[in-house]
Amino acid sequence: MTLSEAADDRRELVDRYFARVPGAEERNRIWLYAGGGAAVVVLGVLITVAGPWLLGIVVIALGGAGLVRGLPLYEAYRDACEAALPKPRDVIIDKIRDHELAKVRRRAMERLDLTVEDLELAPADWDPLAEPGAGSVPREPLVVTGPVPTSRATVGGDGVWRFSRYAVLALCPTDYHLALYRCVIDLRVAGLFQEETHEYHYADVVAVLTAIRDGGTLPVNGAGGRFEKVLLHEFQLVVASGDRSRIVFGISDERHPDRQVKLPPSSIDDVVRAVRTMLRDKKAPEISG
């Protein structure tokens, strides 16, 4: 398979996964116009044969109008089903996402001109007692990822919401500064978009927090129906200049707090804990002997 063919297959998989499957409302409209129109045509023919042919012709014309209206509805329904079915498995979409996140980690190191030896922080969930060769600490950027809420979204068979585009923030703590790499990944297209890099002295980082902001008019639907007021839960890293690096890691309904969008795991708690620990260690005053 050529690279072009692989890219085409990937686009088709992602497009099919996020394409909407027509619902009962569309099917009912087809039956109303096409099925009902056909029934009215048959009735008109019977009326014409039975006697009042003029009335029969009028009835046939009405039924024909229904058929004419129903045919394009059926064609649109058929095309939508062909575009959306069969759905790729959730695990396939997750593998595409994981593949892109691995690229982000490598790209972050390249753009920030760092090596693994420069990093001072192991993954927050690494357990040296559970890993073979405990003396070798695996070092890689800490990654926070969250959906771009305005991108296409669908709910998988496991109840998890998946989005076609994700914002990614890679944090690279070194001995002397905190380097950040930010980008957007698009599951449909291989590539990293909207790339940014930032580098801060630890003294300039004033807050690492989770916050909530208004999600505006985002069209979010949950198990209980459409969210009345959407709230976006964000990870934020704030520096002295007022700049904020932020990533959405949760979506909920303000008026119904128990209704939340189930997203792929983001390890947000581990990342926040790890970065706060690093900042405390780096910003703590030295104790003279």
Higher-scoring residue by pLDDT: 35, 14: 14
pLDDT at res. 225? 62
Q: 70 lies in which domain range?
A: 22-84
The count of C-alpha atoms lying within 13 angstroms of the C-alpha of 276, restricted to the half-sphere facing its C-beta, is 12
Is 150 in the same domain as 114?
Answer: yes
Please report, as a single letter, which amino acid is at residue 32. L
Q: Among residues of the chain, what percentage have pLDDT more than 70?
A: 87
Q: What is the pLDDT of residue 236?
A: 94
Q: Pick from 285, 277, 202: which is nearest to 240 by CA?
A: 202
223 and 150, same domain (yes or no)? yes
User: What total of structural domains would you count in the chain?
Assistant: 2
Residues 242 and 123 reside in one and the same domain: yes
| Straight-line distance from the first to the last Cα atom of the chain, in angstroms, rounded to the nearest whole number | 66
For the entire predicted model, the pTM comes to 0.79
40, 59, 84 - which closes a domain: 84
* Rounded-to-integer distance, Cα 232 and Cα 31, Å: 40
Q: Which helix (H) or strand (E) holds 222?
A: strand 221-222
Residue 31: band (very low, low, confident or very high) from pLDDT cuts 50, 70, 90: confident
Q: What is the mean pLDDT of residues 257-285?
A: 84
Does position 268 have pLDDT exceeding 90, yes or no? no
Q: Would residue 5 count as lying in a domain?
A: no
Chain mean pLDDT for the chain: 83
Domain's final residue, options 84, 103, 131: 84
Residues 135 and 239 in one domain: yes
